A = this chain, B = another copy of it.
């Protein structure tokens, strides 16, 4: 079976988006500064990381806020993913081709994702709320955090919620580029 992995970009002070997220500004105020490694500041190592993310990926899980703020804006009304994506949402929402809504929680989403992905990996891409639920349940086989060298000061914290689980991590690899410190980690007990 494939692995369940997180891949997300975080500022050094722990934010995955700025304040005042909207369709027009899906990363929030100054949030675009997080992703220089994917855009203006991209190096060939960064590009390889972005490509590798989907190399063995069979399904994507994301939160409904991430979906709704991105779909009609940056994603231009179509899925940006090469594989099926599951949107966690407690409310009934309409989604476009390539997405399926899962309304009964992360375990249900993960079960569906495993059926879709078969032997391949499952990428959990956020937002922060979804990541916190996966962390609290100890569901990640790997955690890929791309730390952007910026202090954003305020916004959405990846680790906002306190967690009773202490997770010691071992490093799979660390790739350093001007735009990010790419940490590839896995729980020491996995």
Query: Which of A45-53, A108-116, A151-159 faces chain B?
Result: A151-159
Query: Which of A60-68, A95-103, A173-181 faces chain B?
Result: A173-181
Judge whether A122 is part of the interface by a CB distance below 8 angstroms: no
Q: A151 and B171 in contact (CB under 8 A), knowing A14-B13, A145-B12, A183-B12?
A: no
Q: What is the CA–CA distance of A13 and B174 in the complex, to the nearest angstrom?
A: 17
Q: Which B residues touch A174, using CB under 8 A?
A: 176, 181
CB distance from A21 to the nearest CB of B (A): 16
Judge whether A167 is part of the interface by a CB distance below 8 angstroms: yes
CB distance from A50 to the nearest CB of B (A): 20
Judge whether A38 is part of the interface by a CB distance below 8 angstroms: no
Q: Which B residues touch A13, using CB under 8 A?
A: 14, 158-159, 163
Q: Which B residues touch A164, using CB under 8 A?
A: 153-154
A residues with a Cβ closer than 8 A to B are 12-14, 30, 33, 135, 145, 147, 149-154, 157-159, 162-171, 174, 176, 178, 181, 183, 185
Q: Which B residues touch A166, using CB under 8 A?
A: 30, 33, 150-153
A162 in contact with B168 (CB, 8 Å):
no
Q: Which B residues touch A185, using CB under 8 A?
A: 12, 149
A159 in contact with B151 (CB, 8 Å):
yes
A151 in contact with B135 (CB, 8 Å):
yes
Q: Which B residues touch A14, using CB under 8 A?
A: 13-14, 157, 159
B169 in contact with A151 (CB, 8 Å):
yes
B181 in contact with A167 (CB, 8 Å):
no
A165 in contact with B153 (CB, 8 Å):
yes
Q: Which B residues touch A150, using CB under 8 A?
A: 166-169
Q: What is the CA–CA distance of A162 and B135 in the complex, to the nearest angstrom?
A: 24
CB distance from A175 to the nearest CB of B (A): 10
Q: What is the CA–CA distance of A170 and B177 in the complex, to the nearest angstrom?
A: 11
